[in-house]
């Protein structure tokens, strides 16, 4: 099959890259249509073609300042030309299936998504089951209604979308594969007393909850260290002040800024456990990264994040924003070698089951069904 994967602004480039490669390994002709990757060197395409056709000028002019405010204005100016370029390219490719991974904004994208769904077999991955902004709900509902199939990564997201009005038979649950360590790298068992909070830092990621929990964790495990590694998309000052006020500032190693891919393996392997104290989320790429390196996790019990940890016994899932429960779970894993070893074994099992090859096979079945629905029956003379 000829498959076009579309992620206009490259929101989940690592995910898109691995899915495209896995589909290429299955013999498909895959084209990944996206924007220039700003934060690091983009993954080398393996088994697919990468085409940077969305907001190329804003991306290249401000490559060294991806968070600059002026970039939003330039992106807005480039939006309509980029959409026209995207649609022309899809017309030229004439793929059997178009799989859209993300939208820029539902209320903007609904117009070209309607056209896309009329002209091609189209799937959409709802990485976030519902938009964060309520004013986008109407357009999001229309997009979900237009496409032929909707992929979600959690059982919880299935129910959210059904309650939102999406027919259950249109929704396909394909668990998020892990971001595994490279084949030439040995996965080591966890040890030590280091907690890792990793990824983009925003309020809903709950770093302040973890800082509050660190007070009790440090009381039970005095040698504990918390590494905070990631790019703050919102002011980090209040959280750092909170750590100082609570007396745990000296136990935190702040590594703020974008973490290049080359530095991630050593960072993850230096941790005994990764902590995801999120307030709201459906799934997390950080969880997939942790499991890919067979690291136990303590997570908020939200959607597929909690489901995955429980299903594989890869750590602990606790109620969101429950400081005491978060602290107790971290203390248990850091203090009990047997419990930590069992969680490591669970993470290893997840690593062996949640593969990109399995995900590609499930996507392939969806694509074949969508293509069959939109194909024109042959006329018999």
- For residues 287 and 149, membership in a common domain is answered with no
Residues 6+ apart with CB under 8 A from 74: 55, 57, 58, 61, 62
Give which of 330, 208, 351, 214 is closest to 274, Cα–Cα: 330
- For residues 161 and 224, membership in a common domain is answered with no
DSSP designation for 203: G
Structure tokens at 183: 């084949």
Predicted structure pTM score: 0.84
Higher pLDDT, 62 or 137: 137
- For residues 367 and 302, membership in a common domain is answered with no
* Rounded average pLDDT over 159-175: 95
- For residues 328 and 363, membership in a common domain is answered with no
Determine the Cα–Cα distance for residues 146 and 129; give it in Å rounded to an integer: 16
Q: Are 48 and 42 in contact (CB under 8 A)?
A: no
292-314: per-residue pLDDT in tens? 999 999 999 987 788 899 999 99
- For residues 146 and 64, membership in a common domain is answered with yes
- For residues 203 and 324, membership in a common domain is answered with yes
According to the model, what pLDDT value does residue 220 have?
97
Confidence grade of residue 323 (pLDDT, cut at 50, 70, 90) = very high
11 within a domain of the structure (yes/no): yes
Crossing angle, helix 323-335 and helix 337-353, to 10 degrees?
A: 100
DSSP sequence for 62-77: TTT-TT-HHHHHHHHH
Confidence grade of residue 179 (pLDDT, cut at 50, 70, 90) = confident
* Lowest mean per-residue pLDDT among 39-48, 98-107, 122-131: 39-48
Instruction: Name 152's bridge partners.
Output: 173
- For residues 13 and 48, membership in a common domain is answered with yes
Which helix (H) or strand (E) segment holds residue 197: the answer is strand 194-198
90 within a domain of the structure (yes/no): yes
Three-state SS for 261?
Answer: helix
- For residues 140 and 261, membership in a common domain is answered with no
According to the model, what pLDDT value does residue 284 have?
81
- For residues 277 and 266, membership in a common domain is answered with yes
- For residues 366 and 343, membership in a common domain is answered with no
According to the model, what pLDDT value does residue 381 have?
35
Instruction: Name 254's bridge partners.
Output: 228
Is the pLDDT assigned to residue 124 strictly greater than 90?
A: yes
285 within a domain of the structure (yes/no): yes
* Rounded average pLDDT over 34-58: 85
CATH number for 368: 3.40.50.2000
379 within a domain of the structure (yes/no): no
Give the structural domain span for 161.
2-177+356-374
Confidence grade of residue 377 (pLDDT, cut at 50, 70, 90) = very low
Q: Total domain count for the chain? A: 2
* Rounded average pLDDT over 349-375: 93
Is the pLDDT assigned to residue 210 strictly greater than 70?
A: yes
Question: Could you tell me what percent of the chain has a pLDDT over 90?
Answer: 74
Q: How many residues does the chain have?
A: 381
18 within a domain of the structure (yes/no): yes
- For residues 300 and 367, membership in a common domain is answered with no
- For residues 161 and 296, membership in a common domain is answered with no
218-241: per-residue pLDDT in tens? 999 999 999 999 999 889 999 999
Determine the Cα–Cα distance for residues 54 and 119; give it in Å rounded to an integer: 20
State the residue for tokens 């006329």.
379
Which helix (H) or strand (E) segment holds residue 51: the answer is strand 49-52
* Rounded average pLDDT over 162-185: 86
């Amino acid at each position: 099959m000829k498959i076009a994967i579309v992620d206009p602004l490259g929101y989940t480039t690592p995910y898109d890259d691995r899915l495209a490669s896995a589909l290429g390994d299955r013999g498909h002709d895959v084209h990944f249509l996206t924007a220039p990757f700003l934060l690091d060197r983009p993954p080398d395409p393996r088994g697919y073609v990468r085409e940077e056709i969305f907001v190329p000028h804003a991306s290249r002019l401000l490559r060294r300042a991806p968070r600059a405010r002026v970039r939003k204005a330039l992106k807005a100016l480039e939006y309509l030309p980029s959409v026209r370029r995207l649609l022309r390219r899809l017309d030229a490719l004439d793929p059997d299936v178009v799989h859209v991974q993300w939208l820029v904004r539902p209320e903007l994208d609904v117009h070209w998504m309607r056209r896309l769904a009329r002209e091609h077999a189209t799937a959409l991955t709802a990485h976030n089951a519902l938009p964060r902004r309520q004013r986008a709900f109407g357009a999001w509902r229309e997009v979900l209604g237009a496409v032929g199939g909707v992929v979600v990564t959690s059982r919880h997201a299935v129910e959210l979308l059904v309650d939102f009005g999406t027919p259950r038979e249109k929704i396909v649950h394909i668990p998020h594969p892990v971001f595994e360590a490279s084949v030439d790298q040995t996965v080591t068992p966890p040890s030590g007393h280091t907690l890792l909070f990793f990824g983009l830092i925003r309020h809903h990621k709950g770093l302040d909850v973890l800082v509050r929990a660190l007070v009790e964790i440090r009381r039970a495990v005095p040698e504990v260290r918390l590494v905070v590694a990631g790019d703050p998309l919102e002011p980090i000052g209040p959280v750092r002040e909170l750590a100082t006020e609570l007396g745990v500032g000296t136990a935190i190693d702040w590594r703020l800024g974008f973490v290049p891919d080359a530095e991630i393996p050593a960072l993850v392997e230096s941790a005994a456990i990764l902590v995801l104290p999120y307030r709201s989320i459906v799934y997390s790429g950080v969880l997939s990264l942790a499991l890919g390196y067979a690291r136990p996790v303590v997570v908020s019990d939200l959607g597929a994040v909690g489901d995955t940890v429980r299903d594989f016994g890869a750590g602990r899932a606790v109620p969101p924003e429950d400081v005491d429960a978060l602290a107790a779970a971290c203390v248990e894993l850091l203090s009990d070698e047997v419990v930590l070893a069992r969680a490591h074994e669970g993470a290893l099992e997840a690593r062996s089951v949640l593969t990109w090859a399995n995900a590609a096979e499930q996507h392939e079945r969806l694509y074949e069904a969508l293509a069959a629905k939109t194909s024109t029956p042959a006329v018999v003379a």
